[in-house]
Structure 1
Amino acid sequence: MLRSATQTGSVVSVEFSDGSQARFHAIWLRDNALDPETRAPGNGQRLITIGDIPTDISVNAADIVNGDLLVTFQPENKTVTFPSGWLADHTYDRAVEQETGRVAPGITTWERGIAAPSGDWAEVHATPAAKRNWLADVAEYGFAKLTNGPTEPESLLKVAALFGYVRETNYGPYFEVRTEVNPTNLAYTGLGLQAHTDNPYRDPVPTLQILYCLENSAEGGESIVVDGFRAAERLRSDNPEGFALLAGYPARFEYVGSDGVCLRSRRPMIELSPDGEMVGIRFNNRSSAPFVDVPFDQMEAYYAAYRQLGDYIDDPAMGVAFKLEPGESFIVDNTRVLHARLGYSGSGTRWLQGCYADKDGLLSTLAAMDMAKLEAAE
């Protein structure tokens, strides 16, 4: 609820019932007006362009009606109501955190020792609360397991269907992870693999990866996940100059492993938003191309920071290990969480299927479920 409101031409100042205060510019309020002439009632999309708003927009009246803000704009002589709760949720008149390398609210970084987030196949498919909690774990921790699933091929597609769609690549809608003769990728061998993000040579990278176990009687082959954001936090703390180098210069990645495919990208290993928030990690020794965008006098320091980040990623204290059983799968946020595999023997069998999906579908499904829950509570 709003307690008071005042206006001075181009700015409206409000005080909420809890005593907090906020200011809003007239141009911002007009652009975000909630009336049906500005926003489509069915989907909320904006019906006006920035050019439709008068350049001399101002507010000549700001009143409180039933705890909400009633604003009249000039020269349009247009009156719009802004609910107090909506204003509180969209306040921008506040101190902005500027710490470079911070993680977004709602993300929890981790090391070895945390219990792997997990959901049960039947519960997640049948119970909205279980599905919501599983999706929320992926959003917060960057990975989660799913247990007690079927062992039929292509079951992983049903995992992706819980929240979105498979992202098809040159590997097809999904790919087989088992030993091959003359493999096109080292993933198709029994070799151990350093923790890595997948497909760093794509732009954009697949933002989610699902690995689903169908058979696993081979010795070894445990899966390991590592929080790349936590590794980057350690580097920022211990070597801020090195952190700045990995975030400030693009690395290069390349894959030319099969006929007709030549994938290349140029992105930093540690990706930050313009305001310094950590938004992505790209780390894959197998797919690194020569670094040619780092100045000569910074190259040795860059490599030292690269080695240090790799040491953190390889640190046993950083990884969460588990061996997938048939019918089990796990999903990782491929922009954040690295996954590794221990080597495995030639005896027995190990058959996983993998696919990619997009994080926006998962986050959209989660947000829609949360909104529906709030609306039901009201």
Structure 2
Amino acid sequence: MQAILESNCVKIISEGALLLEMPHLWLRDNCPCDACRVTETQEKSFILSDVSADISPSDARISDNTLWINWPDGHQTNFNIEEVLALSSPRHQPPLSWGQNFQPEYFAWTKFLSDDAFATVAIQSFLDFGVIVINKAPQALETLELLAPRLGPIREVLFDRIHNVCVNTHVYNIAHTPLALPPHNDFASYSFPPSAQALHMLENEVEGGRSIIVDAWAVVEKLRQERPDYFEILCRFAVPFREFDEANETYAVEPMIKCDTAGRISSVRFSNQLMQTMDPMMEGVSAFYQAYHELCVRITDPMQRCTFRLEGGQILLVAAHRVLHAREAFTPSGKRHLQDAYFELDNIANKIVQLKRKSEVTLV
């Protein structure tokens, strides 16, 4: 390998091919030495404004798979080349496709809470597919509070910390009726809606009312491939959503689809019941409604649905920015009582890190 110092970067050539190209400012900003880092935390202490924008190394060389950089002020920087190459690998594995005839995996409540290895498998399945079912949970009020050690703290929202969903409860949306509930994610009316939701069935003695889940990311990815014009409209046209009762109101105006900086879908915001009437004279409304109609057709397509009955003692956990949930209509001939609460996907992903580190310590 050879290091070549150029006017604005350092290139590393291996076997005649470009292996790495690192801008001078990147090299200085990411210096890993103790003088540029807080040694206890490995956070940066050096700030880029302390050097000029046209800073350039005095020289660059490679020794023992390490790039050594000398700077005009005498500072020295070194990088392990393998570690720099590893930066191109994603930190988290991408979500997995459901495939045909998908059904969420079921995990026993007791083992999920008591067995770290079992919980690791369950949480990884949730992160991969956006949904799992926790089975044989206590059929007791506030049971969702007990999930915090595995999922992180409950995210507080308006309308109660843990919500009761049954026909004879406080009615502020369609979920508290026996009507069919179309695919949606909750609190589309928040600027940043909760990214995970746990739905705990306490009792289910009614006829009908089967649960439905839809992989919205898969739906909109196919829309992007087949109708990129519609996809683009849904990514940029802001839509109003509102949820309210006598005492509270949440209101947000956001696009239905959001992507990260790499163009990967990061969230779908879809709630027929919370979407509000918009000014028909707004620029782009007609084009939006054509795109929205196509999205509705695809999301409500029976071929996109995974349908099952959520029984008493079962908890449906969904990654709410990806997986839409729904419910068939039911006849309120018996009891049907569900409680739900919200969590955050970042906290759940962190639990995998904690569990794996705990396992490594135990093995040592």
For normalisation by structure 2, the TM-score amounts to 0.90
Tell me the residue number matched to 1:365. 351
- Answering whether residue 348 of structure 2 is matched by residue 350 of structure 1, we say no
Deviations 1:145-193 (A, max 9, x none): 1122222222212224303111111122211111125612221222210
1:88–1:373 distance in 2 versus 1, CA, 3 Å = farther
Query: Please, which of 188, 191, 198 is the counterpart of residue 200 of structure 1?
Result: 188
Tell me the residue number matched to 2:306. 320
Query: Please, which of 129, 146, 150 is the counterpart of residue 134 of structure 2?
Result: 146
Instruction: Give structure 2 stretches of 5+ with no counterpart.
Output: none
CA distance in 2, matches of 1:291, 1:374: 54
Tell me the residue number matched to 2:114. 126
Amino acid at match of 2:274: S
CA distance in 2, matches of 1:40, 1:277: 33
Amino acid at match of 2:23: H
1:183–1:295 distance in 2 versus 1, CA, 3 Å = closer
Listed as ranges, the matches of 1:38-187 within 5 Å are 38-72=36-70, 74-91=71-88, 106-110=94-98, 113-180=101-168, 183-187=171-175
Tell me the residue number matched to 1:29. 27
CA distance in 2, matches of 1:116, 1:352: 19
Tell me the residue number matched to 2:295. 309
**Which region of structure 1 is more displaced relative to structure 2, 121-130 or 211-220?**
121-130
1:294–1:328 distance in 2 versus 1, CA, 3 Å = farther
**Which region of structure 1 is more displaced relative to structure 2, 149-158 or 243-252?**
149-158
CA shift for structure 1 position 109: 3.5
Query: Please, which of 247, 254, 269 is the counterpart of residue 256 of structure 2?
Result: 269
**Which region of structure 1 is more displaced relative to structure 2, 362-371 or 201-210?**
362-371
Residues 172 and 244, structure 2, Cα contact 8 Å, conserved in 1: no
CA distance in 1, matches of 2:97, 2:235: 19
Residues 151 and 343, structure 2, Cα contact 8 Å, conserved in 1: no
Amino acid at match of 2:277: P
1:54–1:142 distance in 2 versus 1, CA, 3 Å = same
Percent identity over paired residues: 25
Residues 65 and 82, structure 2, Cα contact 8 Å, conserved in 1: no
1:53–1:148 distance in 2 versus 1, CA, 3 Å = farther
SS, match of residue 140 in structure 2: coil
CA shift for structure 1 position 293: 8.7
Tell me the residue number matched to 2:326. 340
Tell me the residue number matched to 1:281. 268
1:239–1:374 distance in 2 versus 1, CA, 3 Å = farther
CA shift for structure 1 position 361: 0.7
**Which region of structure 1 is more displaced relative to structure 2, 40-49 or 326-335?**
40-49
Residues 4 and 12, structure 2, Cα contact 8 Å, conserved in 1: yes
CA distance in 1, matches of 2:138, 2:18: 53
1:55–1:293 distance in 2 versus 1, CA, 3 Å = farther
Q: RMSD of aligned C-alpha atoms?
A: 2.7
Amino acid at match of 1:327: G
SS, match of residue 212 in structure 1: strand
SS, match of residue 110 in structure 1: coil
1:313–1:278 distance in 2 versus 1, CA, 3 Å = same
**Which region of structure 1 is more displaced relative to structure 2, 310-319 or 265-274?**
265-274
Tell me the residue number matched to 1:5. 3
1:167–1:90 distance in 2 versus 1, CA, 3 Å = same
CA distance in 1, matches of 2:360, 2:51: 33
Instruction: Give structure 1 stretches of 5+ with no counterpart.
Output: 93-103
Amino acid at match of 1:122: T
SS, match of residue 330 in structure 2: coil
Residues 200 and 340, structure 2, Cα contact 8 Å, conserved in 1: yes
SS, match of residue 324 in structure 1: coil
CA shift for structure 1 position 370: 5.1
1:370–1:106 distance in 2 versus 1, CA, 3 Å = farther
CA shift for structure 1 position 208: 0.9
Residues 251 and 293, structure 1, Cα contact 8 Å, conserved in 2: no
Tell me the residue number matched to 1:95. none
**Which region of structure 1 is more displaced relative to structure 2, 123-132 or 137-146?**
123-132
CA distance in 2, matches of 1:22, 1:375: 35
**Which region of structure 1 is more displaced relative to structure 2, 362-371 or 330-339?**
362-371
Residues 210 and 328, structure 2, Cα contact 8 Å, conserved in 1: yes
CA distance in 2, matches of 1:319, 1:118: 18
Residues 152 and 344, structure 2, Cα contact 8 Å, conserved in 1: yes
CA distance in 2, matches of 1:152, 1:181: 17
CA distance in 2, matches of 1:219, 1:155: 25
- Answering whether residue 245 of structure 2 is matched by residue 257 of structure 1, we say yes
Amino acid at match of 1:331: L
